Amino acid sequence: MKTFIPAEYEVVRDFNLCTACRLCENQCANGVHSYDEKRGVMVADSLQCVNCHRCVCVCPTHALKIAKSADCYRPNENWSSQTMNEVYRQAETGGVLLSSMGNPGKYPVYFDKLLVNASQVTNPPIDPLREPMETRVFLGKKDVEIKRDISGRLIDTMPPQLNLKLPVMFSAMSYGSISYNAHEALARAAEICGTFYNTGEGGLHRDFYKYSKNTIVQVASGRFGVHSEYLSAAAAIEIKMGQGAKPGIGGHLPGMKISDDVSRTRMIPKGVDAISPAPHHDIYSIEDLRQLIYTIKEATDYSKPVIVKIAAVHNVAAIASGVARSGADIIAIDGFRGGTGASPTRIRDNVGIPVELALAQVDERLRQEGIRDCVSIIVGGSVRSSADVVKAVALGADACYIGTAALLALGCHLCRSCHTGKCNWGIATQREDLVKRLNPDEGCKRLVNLLSAWNLEIQEMMGGMGINSIEALRGNRLMLRGVGLNETELRILGVRHAGENV
């Protein structure tokens, strides 16, 4: 018995406008559109549509739109159509449901419940067009005390730092998960903007060694593509202990995305699913983590900061405290809305906590323990705009990672089907015909535009608060007020309610 699962989306074609040019057919990797020779018209198989909007955007006559399907089950507040379809699918396949991108569930987005302060009268705002505004940040362990030699000169004992022109970096996205052209666009944009991109657990393609000054390389549990040259090439090395989209499990790259080139870069077989283990098999304690950190430092001559990436989970503050004491220079906290190329749907949608709460707790705990300056904090997992960056910094972050926003800049339409390898926008695919659709020059330009625009907005918001540097904003929670939050949420975030005076 096979249950008919109705289409989620409906392809609506205006036949008065359609010229049957077949461009939509040619552009859709999901095989939605075709030409009916007998009737002489274009037809659509809506069941295959993932709503990536490629056809809508390329149609020269604007004849197409995609609508939410009207075909629905009897309304039921408990059993949504999606839940029913998922049960049908699993009853047929016996398999784990896979998804991509971040948790789309109806959980509170705390960034949207926080409002930023503005200066008035006695503490006047600063005009960023006319006065200097410092958005540069240095990530890494800071010296606890300033030391001078006998003649008063500063003794520089500062451990290695990452020097960013603005507090935004591109988060870990592996070659394999995303295309060569997407990777190239990210690397080049990072170089132009004076920031960093991150290889994820996919290794570093030979062609991208030239961007190594702006590259963070990742060491994940599968150790894919990790070798001494890879470590030496990087500006910083990130140990991935957890990922916001799938805390508690390893990475997953579906076999159809493992091309010759990806297999060479990752040092894994072609065409076979690459599933990295849930734990690092040599890390079962903070002491073990410390060993790996110092092995990496030793291998790279203590010349690069080491980042430890953890997922935002229930006891994240205690974990971060351990990580800070393990010798890490930077902690990256990844929230449950963070993107992924492929994740079990149930994990993505039900595991982890909002990153805003995790960040506030980690910053608070490290301050209370007097070790906040021993590490920098990067936060990621659905940082969507410059306002989110400002709020994250005020909650205690030194800098933010952006992934989904960067992919949107490259043309992603959030269809959440990256795991199929059929990204019509040339981003999350290895199919040569699809990869070509993303022009790396154009992609790089759009990413540079995005970061430049955010940097201007960050300066404007800081100026409005009467603050002229990211350093002065970091952890400055008096600059935030909550709206519609309960006492517990306000306490965890460490902010007052809107309308409450200092």
CB-nearer residue toward ligand SF4: 45 or 471: 45
Report the residue from 28, 32, 59, 172 that binds ligand SF4 according to the rule CB under 6 A. Answer: 59
Report residue 193: phi and psi, to 5°.
Answer: -85, -5
Report the residue from 32, 42, 217, 444 that binds ligand SF4 according to the rule CB under 6 A. Answer: 42
- Examine residue 100 and tell whether it contacts ligand SF4 (CB under 6 A): yes
How is residue 172 written in tokens? 């870990």
Q: How far is the CB of 56 from ligand SF4 (least distance, A)?
A: 9
Q: Give the type of residue at 136.
A: R
Give the footprint of ligand SF4 on residues 184-213 (CB under 6 A): none
How is residue 229 written in tokens? 């040259």
109: Cβ contacts below 8 Å, ≥ 6 apart: 337, 354, 382
Q: How far is the CB of 29 from ligand SF4 (least distance, A)?
A: 9
Contact yes or no for 322/76 (Cβ under 8 A): no
Q: How far is the CB of 181 from ligand SF4 (least distance, A)?
A: 12
Report residue 388: phi and psi, to 5°.
Answer: -60, -40
- Examine residue 20 and tell whether it contacts ligand SF4 (CB under 6 A): yes
Q: How far is the CB of 365 from ligand SF4 (least distance, A)?
A: 35
From the list 217, 186, 191, the residue with the least C-alpha distance to 203 is 217
CB-nearer residue toward ligand SF4: 268 or 407: 407
**Considering only 57-65, 115-123, 158-166, 457-465, which stretch makes contact with ligand SF4 by CB under 6 A?**
57-65
Tell me how far apart the alpha carbons of residues 339 and 220 are, in angstroms, rounded to a whole number.
17
Q: How many residues bind ligand SF4 (CB under 6 A)?
A: 28
Q: How far is the CB of 49 from ligand SF4 (least distance, A)?
A: 12
Tell me how far apart the alpha carbons of residues 307 and 172 are, in angstroms, rounded to a whole number.
12
CB-nearer residue toward ligand SF4: 353 or 409: 409
Report the residue from 3, 19, 123, 452 that binds ligand SF4 according to the rule CB under 6 A. Answer: 19
CB-nearer residue toward ligand SF4: 247 or 421: 421
CB-nearer residue toward ligand SF4: 183 or 416: 416
Report the residue from 28, 29, 32, 52 that binds ligand SF4 according to the rule CB under 6 A. Answer: 52
Residue 219: left (phi > 0), alpha (psi -120 to 50), or beta?
A: beta
- The residues with which 334 forms a beta bridge, in sequence order, are 311, 380
Report the residue from 5, 21, 97, 275 that binds ligand SF4 according to the rule CB under 6 A. Answer: 21
Q: Give the type of residue at 184.
A: E
| Exposure class string for 372-407: b at 16+ Cβ within 10 A, else e | bebbbbbbbbbbeebbbbbbbbbbbbbbbbbbbbbb
List for the chain the helix, strand, coil content (%; round to 5).
35, 15, 45
- Examine residue 57 and tell whether it contacts ligand SF4 (CB under 6 A): no
- Examine residue 376 and tell whether it contacts ligand SF4 (CB under 6 A): no
Q: How far is the CB of 195 from ligand SF4 (least distance, A)?
A: 21
Contact yes or no for 239/307 (Cβ under 8 A): yes
Written in H, E and C, the secondary structure of 344-369 is EHHHHHHCCCCHHHHHHHHHHHHHHC
- Examine residue 217 and tell whether it contacts ligand SF4 (CB under 6 A): no
Report the residue from 5, 7, 23, 371 that binds ligand SF4 according to the rule CB under 6 A. Answer: 23
CB-nearer residue toward ligand SF4: 141 or 419: 419
Give the footprint of ligand SF4 on residues 382-421 (CB under 6 A): 407, 412-418
CA quadruple 16, 17, 19, 24: dihedral sign? negative
Tell me how far apart the alpha carbons of residues 285 and 280 are, in angstroms, rounded to a whole number.
11
Tell me how far apart the alpha carbons of residues 256 and 277 are, in angstroms, rounded to a whole number.
20
Report the residue from 6, 7, 9, 18 that binds ligand SF4 according to the rule CB under 6 A. Answer: 18
Q: How far is the CB of 66 from ligand SF4 (least distance, A)?
A: 12
CB-nearer residue toward ligand SF4: 104 or 269: 104
Report the residue from 29, 63, 220, 331 that binds ligand SF4 according to the rule CB under 6 A. Answer: 63
Q: How far apart are the first and last CA of the chain?
A: 66
Give the footprint of ligand SF4 on residues 420-449 (CB under 6 A): 423, 425, 427-428
Q: How far is the CB of 31 from ligand SF4 (least distance, A)?
A: 14
Instruction: Please report, as ranges, the residues that interact with ligand SF4 according to CB under 6 A.
Output: 13, 18-24, 42, 52, 59, 61, 63-64, 100-101, 407, 412-418, 423, 425, 427-428
